[in-house]
Amino acid sequence: MFDLIIEGGTVIDGTGAPRLRADVAIAQGRVAAIGALSALAARERFDARGRIVAPGFIDVHTHDDRLLLDTPVGAHSKLSQGVTTVVTGNCGVSLAPLQAATSPPAPLDLLGTDAWRFARFGDYLDELEASGPAVNAACLVGHSTLRVRHMDRLDREATSHEAQRMAGDLADALAAGAIGMSTGLYYPPARAASMQEVVAVGAPLTGAGGVITMHIRDESDAIDEALREALLIGRTLGVDTVLSHHKLVGKANHGRSVQTLAMIEQAAEGQPVCFDCYPYNASSTMLLPGRVAQSDDVRVTWSKADASAAGQSLFALARERGVTPEQLAQDLQPAGAIYFAMSEADVSRILAHPMAMVGSDGLAHDVSPHPRLWGTFPRVLGHYVRERRLFSLETAVHKMTGLSARRFGLRGRGVLAPGHHADVVVFDAQRVADRATFAHPTEVSAGIDAVFVNGRLACRDGRSLDVHAGRVLRHGRAD
């Protein structure tokens, strides 16, 4: 007897193959059978008539390291949009291995200030596993976190001894189950790091088969040079390379995605490389005065110096206070912001590319976060598939499931097939839509009927029902 049969739905299996009418049976947390199963016995049945049944979505670019440790109350930003697995530790920032009594330097503080207690990466994974996360977690080690841990000054390249110690921490983390390393060469803590330093620190990735994800050094005027550096790092290490949140920033660079995508395609002929992106033409990170002039508008997401600025336009506030936006950005430090500096044509072109995976890059601890934290995946399905018809529903699901699982080595996930883990989302293709906006960024999406994590009903119509169904997905270990 099966534990559950999801019956009457239309299955899109995550491979990119055409949809088919089929029932999905689940037993002991795994998909047991797919086909005409309505006559078979099951302890429970779920009516999916008129709905799409797909693999649970995989958010390949998150900063959920600390969020995963918390027991959610109310709606969950990831479960409510159909996400069953997240990749954490992106942009060079991971919660471990680092012990800090005070707030670490930005952008590490985007993970908060009070959870920097893990001396070893394995300690973090163990606590996460013991707490039972809401979704599955595959975790990266942040290069910037390693720099903060081992260097007395961040405005210089690491010495060979420091790089060796960082590489030792990475090797320990990989042995404990980390899936790879991330970099954030754009940000102050790692801006002084050379390519040679990153290769030296990342050396353990080669033997372990880990992945490297890269927030490249520049996403505006110098993007070509930054891409070449990132691709060379991946090629030198001989590992799978993921270019994080690929985009072009600033009006002068609008349209250049034609060239950057061609560069990535050419590189892919000789090395394993792909990229993630989010379906919005605004980005979000720490508030940087140097980014202000590139943007049509800047919205403050949080500020320690002036909490009342959160959710407001930096430009409007600057006019009210009689200062320049750049000066106000400095006065609000430390702070975060949303930048309206991207072209919708570039966003669409990048998202539609066959190498593109979907990642939210949401910042869970911002006071007034970018709406991508709550709306990324339904936005792809509703706005870009149903309304814009940018690509098919099968292609969209593949970008959010099977492609992601393959690129990150998440075995038994991302595809609905017998024997695979029962991470499943049931949604209404005619109604699914993001509701989160820049003014109201935490609104729950519409059209996500049910989310099953490892066979357990975790979310129904946006309501969290089981917030401990997730697992830690440790690299190189059967799960």
359 and 237 in a common domain: yes
Q: Which long-range contacts (CB under 8 A, 24 or more apart) does 325-329 make?
A: 325/292, 325/298, 326/289, 326/292, 326/293, 327/289, 329/287, 329/288, 329/289, 329/292, 329/298
Last residue of a domain, one of 295, 325, 341: 341
For residues 352 and 337, membership in a common domain is answered with no
Shared domain for 175 and 303, answered yes or no, is: no
Residue 65 placed within a domain: yes
On whether residue 461 sits in a domain, the answer given is no
Question: Is residue 468 situated within a structural domain?
Answer: no
Structure token pair of residue 70: 């918390």
H or E segment at 72?
none
**Residue 241 and residue 373 share a domain:** yes
- Establish if 90 belongs to a structural domain: yes
329 plus 375 within the same structural domain: no
- Work out whether strand 273-277 and strand 283-286 pair parallel, antiparallel, or are unpaired: unpaired
**How far apart (Å, rounded) are the C-alpha atoms in residues 240 and 237?**
9
Total residue count of the chain as it appears in this document:
479
Domain final residue pick, 308, 341, 374: 341
User: What is the β-pairing status of strands 117-118 and 297-303?
Assistant: unpaired
Residues 200 and 347 in one domain: yes
Shared domain check, 409 and 305: no
Q: Any idea what the CATH number is for the domain that residue 324 is in? A: 3.30.1490.130
Evaluated on CA atoms 446, 449, 451, 457, the torsion sign reads positive
Determine, yes or no, domain membership for 445: no
Q: Single out the residue of 356, 286, 350, 320 nearest to residue 103, CA to CA.
A: 286
> In which domain, by residue range, is 323 found?
283-341
**Residues 166 and 303 occupy one common structural domain:** no
Statement: the pTM of the whole predicted model exceeds 0.95:
yes
Which CATH number is 391's domain given? 3.20.20.140
Given 325, 341, 357, which residue is the final one in a domain? 341
Would residue 50 count as lying in a domain?
Answer: no
Token pair in block for residue 385: 């598939």
| Co-location of 251 and 397 in the same domain | yes
**Which residues in the chain show pLDDT less than 70?**
478-479
261 and 306 fall within a common domain: no
Q: Is 477 exposed, middle or buried (0-12, 13-18, 19+ CB in 10 A)?
A: exposed
Same structural domain, 117 and 183: yes
Question: What pLDDT is recorded for position 479?
Answer: 62
Q: How far is CA 350 from CA 106, 159, 343, 462, in A?
A: 28, 37, 11, 29
Q: Pick from 128, 119, 120: which is nearest to 173 by CA?
A: 120
Please check whether residue 74 lies inside any domain of the structure.
yes
Same domain, 135 and 230: yes
**Structurally, how many domains does the chain consist of?**
2
pLDDT in tens, 82-140: 999 999 999 999 999 999 988 899 999 999 888 999 999 999 999 999 999 999 999 99
Reading the block at residue 360, the tokens are 């939210």
* Position 293 in a domain: yes
